[in-house]
Amino acid sequence: MLGLCRRTEKLEGAVQISGSKNAALPILSACLLTDEKCVIRNVPDLEDVRVMFALLRKMGKTIKFEKNIAQVSGRLRSGVLPEKLVRKLRASVLVMGPVLSRLGEGSFALPGGCALGERPIDIHLGGLKAMGASYSILRGRMIFMRQALRGAHIKFSFPSVGATENLLMASSCAGGVTVIENASVEPEIGDLCLFLRAMGVGITRKGSSYTVKGRACLGGADFTVMPDRIEAGTFLLAAASVGGRVRVDSARPAHLGALLTKLRATGVKISKKGNSLTVNSPKIIKPVNIVTGHYPAFPTDLQPLWAVYMLRASGRSSIKDKIFPARFMYVDELKRLGASMVLKNAVLMINKSRLSGTNIYACDLRAAAAMIIAGLMAEGETRVYELRHLFRGYENFFIKLRKLGANVSMEKVKK
């Protein structure tokens, strides 16, 4: 499939944000910690979620999924993950902790996902080793085993989101108390903690440290996944980039502080009512620099969309990504539209640009959304190829954009 975009003068209306992909995936993984039934609501219907369902089924779980409600039941029977599925999903690494906690052994291929540069899992492995696990690598697979996972004092070298989630789950069924220091505090991790508490785990957080009191037997839970803050940010930036007035519902403003601060600094007017945000885009945009970082700093997932937005700004701006310094593969594609950008020493400099449509190729999930928004800003017609990336993380993206008045559609690629 490809995205066909034509210039749109403004976006108007309201958009409902779906459940969070980055919260749903670890919560679904945590269902492996119990044989009792779990009901997970507000699960977005995405390619990544479907792959996670397939992984859970391979391990013995039964999945029923309808109207964004996932019912997960059955026993965990196997800790051997098929390489074909693992390579499709970076979050497949999150089953390591639950599998080791429950079965004592597992076999995993290295995970896939978006190509965003080096993303080592040594922090995951170091934490699991501190809890009593050992592993070896044989024919491209990691073979794990343990006698019994036990509580440990673990201090991360840097706050890894995935390692925090993995170790929280591993310690949920481990003996004793586990303390994880210098961990990540993203809202999605908070959602996972709420789910684990609903299953019976004792978890507390103070600053960037978590204390987990494990239990040998956990129960099922009925839980509703939080809204997707990255999708909310995407639509806020879409409205600011294209122009117009858009209300973003189920936005959880408290999770978007860094983005809202930067948007207001550019001149955008934002009003808040409950969990809804309304954005009014001015005619003149001020250039504003961003540096991405761990929450609550500006999220790396929104930096490609911010880059597109700054193409409207009346001056030069810059982006430095401290999380994924290699996350600038989209730059050459935006240049094909006429974007004036210079990438030097992992810092992207952006100048006001007049865009004109052409054929471009999405290189990752968030870049795909950014390119579609750029296509709505460009004169003429823009074709965005490799939309498979987009479907991994956005539910009904084109439907939602068209509801706001965007001139966008999907077409099958002609072979």
Instruction: Write the single-letter amino acid at 356.
Output: S
For residue 248 the two structure tokens come to: 């973003």
| DSSP H or E stretch at residue 178 | strand 177-181
Sheet strand arrangement including 244-249: 11-16, 244-249, 276-280, 269-273
CB-based contact 241:250 (threshold 8 Å): no
Q: Phi first, then psi: what are they for 177, rounded to 5°?
A: -115, 135
Rounded CA-CA distance 36/34 in Å is 5
Distances (CA, A) of 13 to 9, 249, 256: 14, 11, 20
Residue of 114, 173, 193, 363 with catalytic role = 114
70-86 burial, b if ≥16 CB within 10 A, otherwise e? bbbbbebeebebeeebb
Rounded CA-CA distance 394/365 in Å is 9
Would you give the distance in Å from CA 337 to the centre of its chain?
27
* Closest C-alpha to 166, from 256, 104, 95: 95
Contacts of 328 (CB under 8 A, 6+ apart): 321, 343, 346, 348
Contacts of 304 (CB under 8 A, 6+ apart): 327, 330, 366, 367, 369, 370
Would you give the distance in Å from CA 5 to the centre of its chain?
24
Cite the DSSP H helix spans in 253-344. Answer: 257-266, 303-310, 331-336
Rounded CA-CA distance 394/385 in Å is 16
Rounded CA-CA distance 173/102 in Å is 7
Contacts of 332 (CB under 8 A, 6+ apart): none
Cite the DSSP H helix spans in 79-160. Answer: 83-86, 96-103, 122-130
State yes or no: is 38 an active-site residue: no
Catalytically active residues are 114
